[in-house]
Amino acid sequence: MRLRWAYVASFGLPLIAMLAFGATMPDELEGVRNFSFDAYQRIRPRVWTPDSPVRIVDIDDASLAKRGQWPWPRT
């Protein structure tokens, strides 16, 4: 019983504190969060799968000149 409370205290309380802090994250720390997320994505990016519902489209001036104004037709 004592060991169980030790696990709750050592893992549960810090987890609750991190979740509470993350929910009320001050604006000053948002830059740090964004930087760490970008660094993580460079080190270990998500694996692309064909059935992924999200696509990121990088539109440059050459593509706009060739294809026309966005949104492009789906056909």
Low-confidence ranges of the chain (pLDDT < 70): 1, 22-26, 28, 72, 75
Region of 62 please: left (phi>0), alpha (psi -120 to 50) or beta: alpha
Q: What is the pLDDT of residues 31-50, one digit of tens each?
A: 878 899 999 999 998 887 88
Backbone angles phi, psi at 37, to 5 degrees: -65, -45
Residues 73 and 57: their CA atoms lie apart, in Å, by 14
Residues 71 and 53: their CA atoms lie apart, in Å, by 18
pLDDT of residue 25: 67
Two tokens, residue 2: 């004592």
Residues 11 and 24: their CA atoms lie apart, in Å, by 20
